[in-house]
Amino acid sequence: MKWINKGHEYDAVYSKIIEKESFYLFGAGDFGNLFYEITNNKVPFIAYIDNDVKKQGTIINGLKCISLNEAKVDSKHAIILTMSQFARVATIEQLKAKGLKRNDDFFIIEEFLSVYFSYKYQKVYMTAISFLPSTICNLNCKNCLNFNPFAKEFFVRELDDLKHDVDLFFDCVDKIMLFHVSGGEPMLYKHIAELIQYIDENYGDRIGVLRTVTNGTVVPKDEILEVLAKCNVEVTVDDYREAVPRFNDRFDKLISKFDEYGIKYYINKAESWIDLAPDRTDYSDKSEEWLINHRDSCGQSWEELRDGKLYSCNYAAYATVAGIAGEQDTEESYDLNLFTTETRNELIEFRLGYTNKGYTNFCKKCRGFTPENDVAEKPAVQTEVTMGK
Which range marks the domain in which residue 107 is found?
A: 11-115
Instruction: Say if residue 159 is in the same domain as residue 48.
Output: no
SS3 190: coil
| Domain count for the chain | 2
Instruction: Say if residue 84 is in the same domain as residue 146.
Output: no
Q: Which of 115, 141, 165 is the last residue of a domain?
A: 115
- In tens, the pLDDT along 326-382 reads 777 778 899 999 999 999 999 999 999 999 999 999 999 999 988 788 888 999 999
- In tens, the pLDDT along 69-85 reads 999 999 999 999 999 88
SS3 136: coil
Let me know: does 322 contact 341? Beta carbons within 8 Å: no
Q: Is 354 part of any domain?
A: yes
Vertex 13 angle, CA 47 and 114, to 5°: 70
pLDDT higher than 70, residue 388: no
Instruction: Say if residue 243 is in the same domain as residue 355.
Output: yes
Instruction: Say if residue 31 is in the same domain as residue 159.
Output: no
CATH number of domain containing 74: 3.40.50.720
Instruction: Say if residue 110 is in the same domain as residue 218.
Output: no
- What is the value of pTM for the model shown? 0.94
What is the per-residue DSSP string for 297-345?
A: HH-----EEETTEEES-HHHHHHHHHTSS----GGGEEEGGG--GGGHH
Instruction: Say if residue 105 is in the same domain as residue 187.
Output: no
Tell me the average pLDDT of the chain: 94
- The DSSP code for 382 is B
Instruction: Say if residue 300 is in the same domain as residue 352.
Output: yes
Let me know: does 238 contact 213? Beta carbons within 8 Å: yes
Instruction: Say if residue 349 is in the same domain as residue 233.
Output: yes
Instruction: Say if residue 129 is in the same domain as residue 170.
Output: yes
For residue 291, the surrounding DSSP H or E stretch is helix 288-298
d(CA 235, CA 232): 10
Q: Residue 386: pLDDT band by 50, 70, 90 thresholds?
A: low
Q: Looking at residues 50-70, what average pLDDT do you find?
A: 97
Of 217, 237, 243, which Cα lies nearest the Cα of 142?
A: 243
Instruction: Say if residue 209 is in the same domain as residue 355.
Output: yes
Residue 387: what pLDDT?
Answer: 58
Residue 182: what pLDDT?
Answer: 96
Of 200-204, 294-298, 367-371, least confident by mean pLDDT is 367-371
Q: Is 143 part of any domain?
A: yes
Q: Which of 95, 115, 135 is the last residue of a domain?
A: 115
Residue 389: what pLDDT?
Answer: 47
Instruction: Say if residue 172 is in the same domain as residue 286.
Output: yes
CATH number of domain containing 329: 3.20.20.70
Let me know: does 33 contact 387? Beta carbons within 8 Å: no
pLDDT higher than 60, residue 37: yes
What is the per-residue DSSP string for 240-279?
A: -TTT-GGGHHHHHHHHHHHHHHT-EEEEE--S-EE---TT
- In tens, the pLDDT along 162-194 reads 999 999 999 999 999 999 999 999 999 999 999
SS3 25: strand
Q: Is 20 part of any domain?
A: yes
- For residue 266, which phi and psi values (nearest 5 degrees)? -130, 125
